[in-house]
Structure formats: structure tokens, C-alpha cells
Structure 1
Amino acid sequence: MADGPAQITPAVGYLRRYPSMTWVELDQAVVRLAIFARRQGLFLSEVFVEQLATDPVAFDALVQVVKRRDIPVVVVPTDAHLSAVGRGETKGQRLERETGACALIAADHSQEPVGGRTDPCVCARPPYQTPLSA
């Protein structure tokens, strides 16, 4: 007998829309993020799409939503979507510093993990673990 209903971890997605990306390709990328999140046991409530001309407007909005809703996971297509935002800090580093959330890379995990990591999570905490109370 089960102990109760399974908990679904909330998540949001983030991706950059590159100039050569068509609207169909953008829609497909969003769908791929949603499918990946579902397979990881996550509920992807929304996807923030960054327009390069206004970068980091969508990322700033994402950080605020993650803080306000205490969302532990942000799903991204590849680590390139979390590259530097200035002053040498990457978006992934800023995300973890400001929110404690974990960036989960949806890229093909059959390849070598980014930075030699053995899990797809870019932050120091294990995937999906919420921050400890102070």
C-alpha cells in the first residue's frame, strides 16, 4: 500500500530564442522541455523565453518567480542557455546564488556530463532538493 500521493516537484523552464530560430522550432523546444521535465517527475508550470536583444529580461523575471514560488528546479535545454551574464558570473551561478534553485540540463545525458558531473544538475545540491531552512 502506498504511503500517500506522490509529490510532484514544481519547475520552470528557461531558454534563449536565437535569431535563426523559427517560431515552430521555439514551440518544439518548449515541448521537449516539458516532456523531459515530466519524465523527471517535475511539473513544468511555465517556460521563460529570452530574446537576445533584451537579455536578461526573461531571466530576471524567472529569478523573481523562482524566489516567490520557492521553485527548486529550472529546466534548460543545454548549459549554453545559462552562460555568462556579465561580471564573469553565469546565469546558472546567479540562479543558485539568488534562489538556491538547481538548473537541470535537458540535453542528451548519454554524452559526457558538463564539467565532469555525474548528474544533470548544475548546482552543488542534489537535484530537486529544496534549500535547508536557516
Structure 2
Amino acid sequence: MTDYTRPLLLGYVRQDLLPPDYDAERMKRLFEGFARAEGFAMGSVYAEHRSTAPAAFHALIESLDRYELTAVVMPSWEHLELVGDPAAVKQQFERVTGARFLLHDPSP
């Protein structure tokens, strides 16, 4: 159950960097503990696919704008590589959206 008293945290992952049996729903479950520990409620996880990139990233930005969210979690900076140079994407993303990226690698 979502705790609506906490700010919402979204997730972003590159599907091709995840183990074969992982999908956005599994990542959401794995990110939920991190979200709680950091004071967030976990929302959707946007999964980027190589064949449609950067569609999921653009949808993520639209959600941030629509709901005035402040943070996005992902496993590593590598997950931004389909969008562009991770350092440049991070800088522009944080400047334009006002949100920040948080890193949490939930893999065993």
C-alpha cells in the first residue's frame, strides 16, 4: 500500500542492464525498501528498452513535471547511457526538473 504522507519516488532502469528475470515491477519491489528508508513512497519504475530509447526517459520527465516530484532512483549511472553521457544527462536533468537522481543497486 502506498503511503501518501511521504513524497513519491520514481525509478528508472535500462532493461538490457538487468538480469533476464527482472522487469519494472520486480525493480519496484526491490526499490521499495530503499524508498522507505529514505523517507519516500515508491511509485512507478520506468524501464528503458534499447529499441525505443529514450521513450521511457521522456515519460519519466513528464511524470516529474505533472506531479512535481523531487527524486528518481536507479541502480547505477550506466542506466542513463542510452539517453546520453550520464554526467551531462544528470546535470541537465537536475537543472531542468529540479529533481535529483539517487543511486541504489538492489542486486544481491
Q: Alpha carbons of 1:80 and 1:45: their partners in 2 closer, same or farther (altered >3 Å)?
A: same
Q: Alpha carbons of 1:18 and 1:41: their partners in 2 closer, same or farther (altered >3 Å)?
A: same
- TM-superposed CA distance for 1:19, in Å, is 7.1
Q: Please, what is the CA RMSD of the aligned residues?
A: 2.5
| TM-score, with length taken from structure 2 | 0.77
Aligned to 1:52: 50
* Most deviating of 44-53 and 32-41: 32-41
Deviations 1:61-93 (A, max 9, x none): 100110111100101111211236248864322
Structure 1: which 5+ residue stretches go unaligned?
1-6, 109-134
Aligned to 2:67: 69
Structure showing the higher helix proportion among its residues: 2
Cα distance in 1 for partners of 2:81, 2:99 equals 16
Q: Alpha carbons of 1:55 and 1:90: their partners in 2 closer, same or farther (altered >3 Å)?
A: farther
- TM-superposed CA distance for 1:8, in Å, is 1.3
| TM-score, with length taken from structure 1 | 0.64
Report SS of the residue matched to 2:22. Answer: helix
The structure with higher relative contact order (CA 8 Å, sep 6+) is 2
- TM-superposed CA distance for 1:25, in Å, is 2.0
Structure 2: which 5+ residue stretches go unaligned?
none
1:107 to 102, 105, 108: 105
Q: Alpha carbons of 1:88 and 1:107: their partners in 2 closer, same or farther (altered >3 Å)?
A: closer
